[in-house]
Structures are given as structure tokens and as C-alpha cells.
Chain A
Amino acid sequence: MTTFLQLMLNGLGKGAVFALLALGFVVIFKATEVVNFAHGSLVLFGGYLVLVTKDTVGWAAAAVIGIVSAGLLALAVERLLLARSRHADPFSLALLTIGVDVIITEEVVRRLGVSLPFIGDAWDAKPLQFAGVTLFRTHLVALGVAAVLITAFFLAFRYTTWGIALRAQAENPEAAALVGIRRSRVTASAWLIAGLLAGVAVLFIATQDFSGAGLSRGTHSIALAAFPAAIIGGLDSTAGAIVGGLAVGLVDALSTEYISFAFAKSAVFLVMLVVLVVRPAGLFGTRETTRV
């Protein structure tokens, strides 16, 4: 029972971070219908800047620099590359992000070399014991931060003009343009937000508690594991990102113990496959229908 409880806690803690990553996919997809394969490289880039600045400016300032620069990089990718190919369809743009991802990831990994940098200084490896179970501080903070950010996002989405513009564009881009919503602004802001979320997520990922490894190629793989989270929930559903994230965390933790560790990594993707076959647009996604 203790083991089960501990696994649930581990799973939920990780799930919160997956939800943050998944939300990044969802924001961009909602605004532009592009699946951003470069999300993992944004995560790495943010982490790298925390690493190189934290010795001079201190961890807290470095964390802010990392978050902001991940956001700015996302913005730059959108403005300098995606926005320039206005005639390309979302499918081609998704392919373009694969190219961007390869370049940024390889360069950051090269710069990292053989070091094992951990960047969650404020909360890493400071577990709390409570009634026979261990609460990892990284997980607790991640859950809190995810709850705050996701709530804020929900509110902004419902009640601000920005949120309305984004929803309008997601609903019907042509009509949105007609009523004077500037497509480029909405799109750029979506990328900026996704980048900021990636920058936040990496502060939890490159920790002993979460990934057991500092910033490395493995950090990028973890961002890849958030793909199923976004897909399970539905790529255009904010609520889905949360459910998907927590589901991925729990499936991973529980199948490690009750099936096998080797299977756990596949399990997440198999769950995604099953969900897709049953509900092709994810659990909470809106389904496109074709009529003949």
C-alpha cells in the first residue's frame, strides 16, 4: 500500500510537469494548427541559459533569464521562419520545426559536453518525509506552479481580449481576420507563451528528483514524452493537457512497478495509440468530420 501510494505521488508530481509541456503544444496548435516538434529544443535552450548564467547572477535571476530566453527563442523561430512561409500548410510547418529541433538540440548538446548540470537548485534533492511516504520538493513545487499557471491561462483564455482573439482564430481564421483580429499577433503570442512554459518546465526536469540527470539529450526525450500527454488530452484542449499530463505521469509510474520498467516507456505511447484509435482527436479534442 505504501508502495502504491508512493508511486501515485511520484506519478502525479511528474504529471504536473508533463502538463506544462503539453500545454505548450496545445497553445501553438490552437492558434495555428501547427504541431511544434521543436518543443524539446526550447526546453534545452532555456535550461542551457540557466546553466551558463547561474554562477554569475545567482540561481533565481538565472531561472528568469532561462524562462524569458526560451520564450524569445520560440518567438524568433515563429517570426523569422514560420511567419515567412505564409503559404505553407500546417503540415509542412510541422516538418520545418523538425529541422529547427535538430539544429538547436545538437548545438546545445555539443556545448554541454560531458558535464552533468542540474538546475533546480531551489528545490532539488530536498525531500520531505511524511507518514511513511516521501514527498519530493521538486514535485510539490511543480504541482503548485502548474496549478497557478494553468489557472491563469484558463482565465486569460476566457476573459481577456487576447484569449477571445485566440479562440476566434482557432474557431475560424477567415472570420477572425475579417473582424480585425491580427493573425500574426495571436500566432506570435502563442509561440511566446509556449516557449515560456518550456522554460519553466526545464527547471523541474533537469533535477535529481525528476529525471535523475542534469541537462542533456535525455531532457529532450522527456519533452518528447509530453507528446502523448498532449495527444491523449486532445491537441486543441487546454483541460486535456492537464488530464493527459497527469495520465502520462501515472501510467509511467504504475506500469514500472506492476508490469515492467522496460514496458513503461512503451506503455505511455500505447495508451496514446489506443486513445487515438477510439477518439481520433484525443479525449477532449474537437473532432473534425468530413461529409461526402
Chain B
Amino acid sequence: MRRLLFKAAAVALVLPLAACSTKGGAETNSTGVTDKEITLGVMADLSGPFKSLSTAITQGNELWAKDVNAAGGVCGRQIKLETVDHGYKADTAKTLYPQIEPKVLGFVQLTGSPVMAALGKNIEADKVTTTPASWSSELLNNPYAMIVGTTYDIEMIDGLSYLQEKGMLADGDSVGHIYVDGEYGANGLRGSKYYAEQHKLQLHDVKITSTDTDLTNVVTGLKGQGVKVILLTTTPKQTGSAAAANKALGLNVPILSNNPAFDPALLKSPAASALDKLYIVASTVPFSADIPKAKEIAQKYAAAGYKEPPNAGTPYGYAVGEVWGTVLKKACENKDLTRDGIHKAMQQTTSADTGDLVAALNFGTPGAPATRQVYVAQPDASAPGGTKYVQPLFEAEAAKAYKAPHEGQ
């Protein structure tokens, strides 16, 4: 026994001296790029609370990669996606990141605000350009965050302008804003606060957490305050509860929500009949949008044989791919397919075209959202994907004047 122990000890002592061929090779700057392939990362939530959205985005990413590769790839190289599932858990993501990071040139998807918060510093240190599937302008303090679409604060400002223009809201009115505590909600609230100040609205804000789902008591309180409009920066379940309470309590005011607050599944819930007052503001098109590119994607989606019901994540995921395609092409022209090169190419991209899946994007101003244009949609059970437009792309005056938190820094 004793001899065995000594042997083990001796072996263990010698091991480090014989170190170590597998580890410690100097990191090259051309990570994720070979002569034949460009590898892009996807850190998705395929099993957690945002599974539905993230799966659809991933499918959009895949459809794009397939199309690009069929057309000969970018810069003479095929696009390869490296996908991992973190299940919306920051601790899981934190261990997965060092595993996937050395393999990829950039991330076309990084879902989850806690995940983005946990990895923000790494992304900056590793200079890896990343598209978060989170649209908070707070994230723009990270120069490597490439947000495709507008941000929650601007969605709110544009949406409130729309309601006022349509006569559903007047200066001096009382307005309630229910928001989820965290980066998502805080950013939406930033927008409504800005607009409320400009238009002397009395804003009653209520902070809730992402797992609260019964908002009856909150809406009861808002009714007592005599609100004319309810704003929602919430999860889909919470949107359902607020809408149902709005109707049940006889309040019946218009409801304005950010894009992630709606999920087509609501149309099959008991809240379905209460959704007629809901207006959704978004910068990416609904799945069934009446534009050629969206129709094309819907067809490809059907052809690809995915089993999940579609949602707006798919055209968005495809649009992100298109933006990446533009950036990669620019980097190719600059003959610099390194991470630094990608970042430079992103800043040179002042009008990425996605066939109107998203408004034209300008990544030229650090800290500023890439667009301030939005659509307004309403739930519609008859449309695949669950929504129909009521207002095509527009940008409100108030949104033009608004300064995002990290703009011009």
C-alpha cells in the first residue's frame, strides 16, 4: 500500500516537468478562420426559459448560413456555425465560453441578459464581436456588441409617439409602466421616462421580477391611478396577465409593449380575447410580414422541416446573418479577417441591408443604436407567427433627439 502511494506521488511530481504539449500555444489573431472556413459562434438557450425564441433565432442563423454557403460562401470560405446551449444559466455559459471562444471569429448569437452580463468582460478582453439577442442600449458600452435592430428605450419612445399621434394619449395623461427588473426592463423604462418628461406624462412605474406572472393586483392599482395607457416591458406570460386584468377589471386602455413581451402562444391562452388592445413595437419584422424577403424565409423554414411553431426569431436570426455577411465582406475587402479586422469592418458598416427584415443599420457611431426605426404590430390569430402590421417602419421625432446612455462616449 505504502509503496503504491510513493509511486503515485513520484508520478505526480514528474508529470508537471514533462509538461505540456497540448496547452499554451500562442493565440493567433486569425482565430476561427482557415483557408476554407469561417467559424461563427452561437451561444443559445435551447432548453431554458427563452428556448422558443432562441431556437427560432438559431434556425434563422442556420438558414442564412445554408444560403450563403450555397452561393459560394464569403471571401472564398464556407460559413460554419458552432452552437452551444447554456440553458439561460450564467454559470453554465461561463464554463462553455472558454471552450467555444478559441474556435470562433465572432458570435452571431448570444442569448440571455444574465449571460451577456457574465461574459461582457471576456468579450471585450478577447475582442470578439458579438450580436447579443438582447436589445438593451446599456450593452452598447461594450464596443464589441453589435446589436441588430433598435433598443428597448427607443421602441418605447417610438411607440408612445405612435399612440399620441393616433389620439390614444395626450400630454399630461397618467401612464402606467410595468417592467421586469433587470437590463431589459430598466432600458424600456429609460425610454418611457424620457418621453414622459417631454410630454408631461405622469408615469407610474411598477417593477416586477421575471417569474411573477399574476399582475391583477398591479393593474388594480394602476386603475386606481386612472392610467390612460399601460406600457409593458415584460415576459409574454406577464403580458397575458396584464391584458386579461385590463379587460376583467373594466379598465380597457391601450397597452403598448416591447418586442419580447409578445409570444404567439398567447393567442391560444385564456387571455387571447383581451389582446385586441395590445400594440407591439419592434424593429424586426413578424414571421408572416408582407415583404418578399420574409416570405422567402417563411418558405425556406417550411422546406427545412423544422418542427417548432415559427415566430419572429427566425427572420431576425436570418437578418443577423445578413448583417454579418456584410461585415465579413467588408473585412475581406480590407484583407483583414482577424478579430480586430471584423471590429473595424463593423464600424465601417454604415448601412447594412437585410431586405427590410430590419431597418437599415448604421454601426458607425459607437454607443448609439444602429437604427431608430420601428414597426408597430397587433396580435392576429389568423396570421402565421401571430401578428399583423398596423404601422410600417417609421422613426419618431422624439426618438431622433434621444441620446442613448453610452452614446458619444
Contacts and interface: CB of A to CB of B under 8 A. Distances in A.
Asked if A and B touch directly (CB within 8 angstroms), the answer is: yes
Interface of A: 2-3, 6-7, 10, 113-116, 118, 124-125, 127, 129, 134, 136, 207-214, 216-218, 221, 252-253, 256-257, 260-262, 264-265
B109 interface: no
Interface string B207-225: 1110111111110110110
Contacts of A253: 217
The 9 nearest A-B residue pairs measured at CB: A212-B241, A3-B224, A213-B213, A125-B270, A212-B213, A127-B248, A208-B270, A256-B217, A212-B214
Contact of A3 (B207, B215, B221, B273): B221
Given A114-B52, A213-B241, A253-B217, A207 B249 contact: no
Given A116-B269, A218-B213, A257 B221 contact: yes
A125 B266 CA distance: 14
Given A116-B265, A116-B269, A261-B212, A7 B237 contact: no
Interface in B284-323: none
A106 to B, nearest CB: 11
Given A116-B266, A208-B269, A208-B271, A134 B217 contact: no
20 contacts: A6-B220, A114-B51, A116-B266, A118-B270, A125-B273, A127-B248, A136-B216, A136-B248, A207-B270, A208-B240, A208-B269, A212-B215, A213-B213, A217-B211, A256-B217, A257-B220, A260-B206, A261-B217, A262-B208, A264-B217
Nearest to A264: B217
B250 interface: yes
A45 B220 CA distance: 32
A44 to B, nearest CB: 15
Contacts of B214: 210-213
B207 A118 contact: no
B52 to A, nearest CB: 4
Interface string B315-340: 00000000000000000000000000
Contacts of A211: 213-214
Contacts of B248: 125, 127, 134, 136, 209
B260 to A, nearest CB: 14
Contacts of A3: 220-221, 223-224
Contacts of B221: 3, 7, 256-257
B217 A118 contact: no
Nearest to B211: A218
Contact of B217 (A124, A207, A252, A262): A252
B62 interface: no
Interface of B: 51-52, 181, 206-209, 211-218, 220-221, 223-224, 236-238, 240-241, 244-245, 248-250, 263, 265-266, 268-271, 273-274
A282 B271 CA distance: 39
Contacts of A10: 216-217, 220
A261 B207 contact: yes
Given A6-B249, A125-B248, A208 B241 contact: yes
B181 A262 contact: yes
Contacts of A257: 217, 220-221, 224
A6 B238 CA distance: 20
A253 B214 CA distance: 11
A134 B250 CA distance: 8
B209 to A, nearest CB: 7
A218 B236 CA distance: 14
Nearest to A128: B248
Contacts of A265: 209, 212
A114 B51 CA distance: 7
Contact of B218 (A113, A115, A208, A261): A261
Given A125-B274, A211-B213, 18 more contacts: A3-B220, A116-B237, A116-B265, A116-B269, A118-B269, A134-B249, A134-B250, A210-B214, A212-B213, A212-B215, A213-B237, A218-B237, A252-B217, A253-B217, A256-B221, A260-B207, A261-B207, A262-B207
Contacts of A118: 269-270
A253 B263 CA distance: 27
A212 B208 contact: no
A115 B266 CA distance: 10
A40 to B, nearest CB: 14
A3 B227 CA distance: 13
A217 B51 CA distance: 14
Contact of B270 (A113, A124, A260, A262): A124
A259 to B, nearest CB: 11
A208 B241 CA distance: 6
A214 B112 CA distance: 23
A210 B215 CA distance: 9
A209 B247 CA distance: 12
B289 to A, nearest CB: 23
B57 to A, nearest CB: 14
A209 B181 CA distance: 23
Residue among A116, A210, A264 with most chain B CB within 10 A: A116
Contacts of B269: 116, 118, 208, 214
Contacts of B211: 217-218, 221
Contacts of A134: 248-250
Nearest to A115: B265
A87 to B, nearest CB: 35
A254 B217 CA distance: 8
Residue among B181, B238, B240, B270 with most chain A CB within 10 A: B270
